[in-house]
């Protein structure tokens, strides 16, 4: 009788080639085959570590057909590994179909932990990490994207979003409109030479990136919705604004602080000021 097959789900580096565990290296060396999202990309990693295990492609477009082939090989007693281009397979990457099929067929799987962009960004940003919601990539269609944002607008968790750099600005615009002002962070080029975390209010990040568009891979993090902040009415915002200005804070800064305090947009305060001035003028 043949040995029992097994599939290892292996996390690989998200930028820095040294971020790979000894167990993953050992496994990749010793399995019968490695299923990889992009074999040319993964070959570079394997060459770097002198690993000669045969590769087969397993990506979004051949996931179903390849799953059947891989499951058959595992049933025949082979041992295989699944890797993606970066980080943990199955997390905004192919893997789920194969994993579920193995489980359905009682083929044992094991996960070898390692790098993941979302967790790295969360910890590096200093955003609340006790409870968070991973959203992965938002839908690319504007309507669908805004629907998802509306669903999560009032959740008390840090939100983690993967975004392509060329879409970051329009995503931030939608977020500001639907979620209102709040603290945010953009973590770029994690584990690489130009790793950088940009922090600020959503409107500040928008202003920053309008000047210099972001480059490289990025994760966007949004502070949890704070229900307490939303209780203030326009009169309370204006009272806070007046108090800050009396204390010597200039209007721009004061508006920013009030927006943050109440989880609203600066534009809302500005409009409230106009309404108040109009009333006074009557």
With CB under 6 A as the contact rule, the residue among 25, 91, 153, 155 that binds ligand SAM is: 91
Q: What is the DSSP letter of 31?
A: S
Applying CB under 6 A, which part among 28-36, 67-75, 158-166, 200-208 lies near ligand SAM? 158-166
Report if residue 217 touches ligand SAM, rule: CB under 6 A: yes
Report if residue 15 touches ligand SAM, rule: CB under 6 A: yes
Of residues 167-196, those binding ligand SAM (CB under 6 A): 187-192
Which residues are registered as beta bridge partners of 56?
Answer: 35
Report if residue 63 touches ligand SAM, rule: CB under 6 A: no
The residue among 141 and 248 lying less far from ligand SAM, judged by its C-beta, is 141
The residue among 189 and 204 lying less far from ligand SAM, judged by its C-beta, is 189
The residue among 169 and 273 lying less far from ligand SAM, judged by its C-beta, is 169
The residue among 191 and 257 lying less far from ligand SAM, judged by its C-beta, is 191
Q: Is 92 left (phi over 0), alpha (psi -120 to 50) or beta?
A: left
Closest among 189, 182, 191, 142 to 159, alpha carbons compared: 182
Q: Is the dihedral of CA 47, 51, 53, 56 positive or negative?
A: negative
The residue among 102 and 197 lying less far from ligand SAM, judged by its C-beta, is 197
Element of type H or E holding 207: helix 202-211
Using DSSP's 3-state secondary structure scheme, residue 280 falls into helix
Q: Which residues have C-beta within 8 Å of that of residue 157, sequence separation ≥ 6? A: 131, 132, 133, 224
With CB under 6 A as the contact rule, the residue among 36, 176, 219, 269 that binds ligand SAM is: 219
User: What is d(CA 259, CA 236) in angstroms, rounded to the nearest whole number?
Assistant: 12
Question: Could you tell me how many residues make up the chain?
Answer: 282
Report if residue 257 touches ligand SAM, rule: CB under 6 A: no
**Separation of CA 130 from chain center:** 16
Q: Using CB under 6 A as the criterion, which residues of the chain lie in contact with ligand SAM when the complex forms?
A: 14-15, 84, 86-88, 91-93, 116-118, 162-164, 187-192, 217-219
């Amino acid at each position: 009788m043949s040995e029992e097959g097994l599939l290892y789900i292996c996390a690989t580096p998200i930028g820095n080639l040294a971020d790979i565990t000894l167990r993953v290296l050992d496994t990749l060396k010793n399995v019968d085959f490695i299923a990889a999202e992009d074999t040319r990309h993964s070959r570079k990693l394997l060459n770097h570590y002198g690993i000669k295990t045969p590769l087969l492609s397993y990506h979004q477009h051949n996931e179903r057909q390849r799953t059947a082939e891989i499951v058959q090989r595992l049933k025949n007693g082979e041992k295989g590994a699944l890797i993606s281009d970066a980080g943990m397979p199955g997390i905004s990457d192919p893997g789920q179909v194969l994993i579920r099929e193995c489980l359905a067929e009682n083929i044992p799987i094991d996960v070898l932990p390692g790098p993941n962009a979302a967790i790295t960004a969360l910890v590096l940003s200093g955003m609340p990490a006790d409870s968070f919601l991973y959203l992965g990539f938002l839908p690319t269609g504007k309507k669908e994207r805004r629907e998802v944002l509306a669903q999560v607008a009032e959740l008390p968790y840090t939100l983690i979003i993967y975004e392509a750099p060329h879409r970051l600005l329009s995503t931030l615009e939608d977020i500001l409109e639907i979620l209102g002002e709040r603290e945010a962070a953009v973590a770029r080029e994690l584990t690489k030479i130009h790793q950088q975390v940009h922090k600020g209010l959503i409107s500040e990040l928008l202003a920053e990136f309008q000047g210099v568009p972001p480059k490289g891979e990025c994760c966007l993090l949004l502070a949890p919705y704070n229900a307490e902040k939303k209780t203030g009415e326009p009169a309370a915002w204006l009272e806070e604004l007046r108090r800050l200005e009396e204390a010597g804070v200039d209007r721009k800064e004061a508006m920013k602080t009030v927006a943050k305090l109440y989880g609203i947009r600066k534009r809302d305060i500005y409009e409230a000021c106009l309404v108040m001035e109009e009333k006074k003028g009557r």
